[in-house]
Amino acid sequence: MLDIQLLRNDLDGVAKRLASRGYVLGTTEFTALEAERKKMQTRTQDLQAKRNASSKQIGIAKSKGEDVAAILAEVASLGDELKADEEKLALIQTQMQDLLLNLPNLPHESVPVGKSEENNVEVRRVGEPKKFDFAVKDHVDVGTPLGLDFDTGAKLAGARFTLMRGQIAKLHRALAQFMLDTQTEEHGYTECYTPYLVNAETLTGTGQLPKFEEDLFSLQHNDSKLYLIPTSEVTLTNTVRDAIVPLESLPIKLTAHTPCFRSEAGSYGKDTRGMIRQHQFDKVEMVQIVHPENSYAALEEMVGHAETILQKLGLPYRVMALCTGDMGFGAAKTYDLEVWLPAQNTYREISSVSNCEAFQARRMQARFRNEAGKPELLHTLNGSGLAVGRTLVAVLENYQNADGSVTIPEVLHPYMGGLEQLKAN
RNA sequence: GGAGAGGUGGCAGAGUGGUUGAAUGUACCUGACUCGAAAUCAGGCAUACACGCAAGUGUAUCGAGGGUUCGAAUCCCUCCCUCUCCGCCA
């Protein structure tokens, strides 16, 4: 959520910055609503002040045993008008809140301006794509003989679900364990186990609701509606919702390995083959909750934390700075990590690391007590470290051998009980 | 699922429908005393929002939302959460 003060003071500036990410701000609508709000709020508060003053006098008069009929009559006439004004004001404030909740974050000044994916800027490239002296297969063809089973996944749940068996299932688990251990032991994140189902408030805090409800899976339980988390960014970040944390506790660094559930509405026909785009996938998430002064340093640091995983796995990748038009709703700045997939002969997103500045913190009312002892909004960051399913895809494709076997990256050996190669039985 | 007890400021803990944004204690900050500290004394000490150049003034908030009333922390209704006992359960 943007600071409403900023909209009041510099509406055109805000509109301009939002336009850079392809969002058209209804400035006329805002101006009209804001004028109405101001009028109604002032009027309502005046009436309330009058009522309060009279009521106080009634109290005083009664305690002295005086007659209160005159004041009573006077204040009675306020009643209907006040009630009508309060209702109207509440309606306006709801409208204003809706408007604010649906505005995306402002891009940081360092973000390249652009319309789409094509305008993203490559920051660096790490690792050399391996040369194969045989025709490379994609992860579906490599993985199927080894235990990757799309047919059974589809039978059990439908399209975009996968079943893994045996060695592949174990490799998938090994990857998650390895990532979690690296983030906790080497990078100082606290491991968390979080709910997979959350309420609407939580999702509003991180920005998935109200605007992106269609991207979520939900279920009705008695009178309450719960949603499956699309990422543990949601649960980890919301740990500080409605909280004022002490300065000394910063930065808060959290990580979790959870499944993520996404409806993938609007991506029909995209990445239908294989397990690139699934309704359910595992991810090790990193979240940092920091002092506003440190959030951009933390962003760079977190990109490094995600890169570490790719480097240890020996997977070639590149770092992309997303342009204004390609960034997510809540992000002020985002880096994507893209891993090399030989079968697609291209780099594909495997991690996304974003600084949301105070955008989520303002929605969540997540604050810290600053040096002066006053509550101030935190900055929140999140990033994948990494998406486990896509990492599995990358390992299968990059480490495939001519005979159909797959070499297991060395760092995973301890997690695989010493196994060094996946082979079909 | 059944029965009961609760939810008030950083913490503890009062609060007969009326000068209660809230006693008191404690923590914290400032000042006085002191060479300094402790003790003591005095003052300060919630959040959000609105109006205002400012000083300031006003509004809202006692788990959440409704209601009754001129006036609600206090009365009524609904919901949420916590705790205790019983039942069921991985």
Least confident range of A35-39, A243-247, A275-279, A361-365:
A243-247
- Residue-wise pLDDT for A16-35, tens only, equals 999 999 999 999 999 999 99
pLDDT score for A219: 87
State yes or no: pLDDT of A224 exceeds 80.
Answer: no
Q: How far apart are the first and last CA of chain A?
A: 54
pLDDT score for A79: 78
- Give the residue with minimal CA–C1' separation from B17: A59
pLDDT score for A80: 80
Please, which positions of strand B sit below 7 A from a protein CB? Answer: 18-19, 47-51, 58-60, 66, 70-71, 79-80
Does any strand B atom come closer than 7 Å to the Cβ of A148?
Answer: no
Taking the C1' atom of every nucleotide in all shown strands and the CA of A369, the nearest one is B10
What ipTM was estimated for this complex? 0.82
Q: Tokens for A160?
A: 């975009």
- CA A352 to C1' B66, in angstroms, rounded, equals 44
pLDDT confidence bin for A268, thresholds 50/70/90: confident
Does any strand B atom come closer than 7 Å to the Cβ of A11?
Answer: no
State yes or no: pLDDT of A285 exceeds 90.
Answer: yes
Whether residue A112 has a cis bond before it, omega within 30° of 0: no
C-alpha–C-alpha distance, residues A216 and A213, integer Å: 6
- CA A86 to C1' B77, in angstroms, rounded, equals 22
The 3-state secondary structure of chain A reads CCCHHHHHHCHHHHHHHHHCCCCCCCHHHHHHHHHHHHHHHHHHHHHHHHHHHHHHHHHHHHHCCCCCHHHHHHHHCHHHHHHHHHHHHHHHHHHHHHHHHCCCCCCCCCCCCCCCHHHCEEEEEECCCCCCCCCCCCHHHHHHHHCEEHHHHHHHCCCCCCEECHHHHHHHHHHHHHHHHHHHHHCCCEEECCCCEECHHHHHHHCCCCCCHHHCCEEEECCEEEEECCCCHHHHHHHHCCCEECHHHCCEEEEEEEEEECCCCCCCCCCCCCCCCCCEEEEEEEEEEECHHHHHHHHHHHHHHHHHHHHHHCCCEEEEECCHHHCCCCCCEEEEEEEEECCCCEEEEEEEEEECCCHHHHHHCCEEECCCCCEEECEEEEEEEEEHHHHHHHHHHHCECCCCCEECCHHHHHHHCCCCEECCC
Q: Tokens for A310?
A: 């790719």
- CA A260 to C1' B45, in angstroms, rounded, equals 45
- Residue-wise pLDDT for A59-91, tens only, equals 888 888 788 788 888 887 777 888 888 888 888
State yes or no: pLDDT of A272 exceeds 90.
Answer: no
pLDDT score for A140: 96
- Residue-wise pLDDT for A195-212, tens only, equals 999 988 899 999 999 899
- CA A283 to C1' B48, in angstroms, rounded, equals 37
C-alpha–C-alpha distance, residues A198 and A181, integer Å: 26
Asked if A303 and A317 touch (Cβ cutoff 8 Å), the reply is no
Which A residues between 271 and 290 have a beta carbon under 7 A from any strand B atom? none
Does any strand B atom come closer than 7 Å to the Cβ of A243?
Answer: no
Q: What is the average per-residue pLDDT within A210-239?
A: 89
> Which among A411, A391, A343 is positioned nearest to A142, based on CA atoms?
A343
Whether residue A210 has a cis bond before it, omega within 30° of 0: yes
- CA A25 to C1' B1, in angstroms, rounded, equals 52
Mean confidence (pLDDT) of chain A: 92
**Half-sphere exposure at residue A418, Cβ-oriented, CA atoms within 13 angstroms:** 0
Which A residues between 33 and 72 have a beta carbon under 7 A from any strand B atom? 38, 41-42, 45-46, 48-49, 51-56, 58-60, 62-63, 72
Q: Which positions of A are annotated as active-site residues? A: 262, 277, 349, 352, 390
In the block, residue with structure tokens 């209907």: A80
* Four-CA torsion A390, A172, A309, A416, nearest 10 degrees: -150
- Residue-wise pLDDT for A294-336, tens only, equals 999 999 999 999 999 999 999 999 999 999 999 999 999 999 9
In the chain, the amino acid numbered A420 is E
- CA A363 to C1' B48, in angstroms, rounded, equals 14
C-alpha–C-alpha distance, residues A191 and A265, integer Å: 31
